Amino acid sequence: MILELVEFNSPKGATREQVAADARSVFAKWQGNKDLVSKAFVLELNGKSGGGVYVWPSVEAAQRAHNEEWRQRVIKRTGAAPTIRYFDLLAMIDNAHGELKEFPEAPEMIKQPAA
C-alpha cells in the first residue's frame, strides 16, 4: 500500500467552514474512486494550508487521480501548485475499530542503501 501526502495553500482568507464546505463538495467524487482505499481531509491548525492523506494500492492509482487537470484546479483555487509525497505504508493501527493491518512491501519502492 502507498500513503500519499498532498499539501496545498488554503485559499486566502478562507475560514475552516469554507474549507470544510469545499471538502464536502468532493466527497462523492472520492467515494466513487474504486482505487482509493481511504482519504483524510486535513487543515493545518493555523489554517494556512490543507491537504489530504490518501491510501492507495499503488503510486499509479494515486497519479491517475491526481493528474494534470486536478493539479490545475488546485492552482486555480489556491494560487500555487500542490506538493505530493509518497510513502510505503507499513502498517495502520485503528484503535476505534480495534484493528491492526500490516501491508506487504510496496512494489514501487526504490531500494536505498542504509545510511
Q: Render pLDDT for 49-88 as a digit per residue (tens, 0 to 9).
A: 999 999 999 999 999 999 999 999 999 988 899 999 999 9
pLDDT mean over 10-39: 94
Flag whether pLDDT at 108 surpasses 80: no
Host H or E run for residue 68: helix 68-78
Task: Provide the pLDDT for residue 93.
Answer: 95
Flag whether pLDDT at 110 surpasses 60: no
Residue 11 banded pLDDT, cuts 50, 70, 90: confident
Instruction: Judge contact between 14 and 21, C-beta under 8 A.
Output: no
Q: Domain 2-102 - what CATH class?
A: alpha beta
Q: Please, is 17 exposed, middle or buried when counting C-beta atoms within 10 Å of its C-beta (0-12, 13-18, 19+)?
A: exposed
Closest residue by Cα to residue 65 from 77, 78, 79, 52: 52
pTM score of the predicted model:
0.87
Flag whether pLDDT at 111 surpasses 70: no
Flag whether pLDDT at 39 surpasses 80: yes
Q: Which amino acid is at 86?
A: Y
Host H or E run for residue 95: none
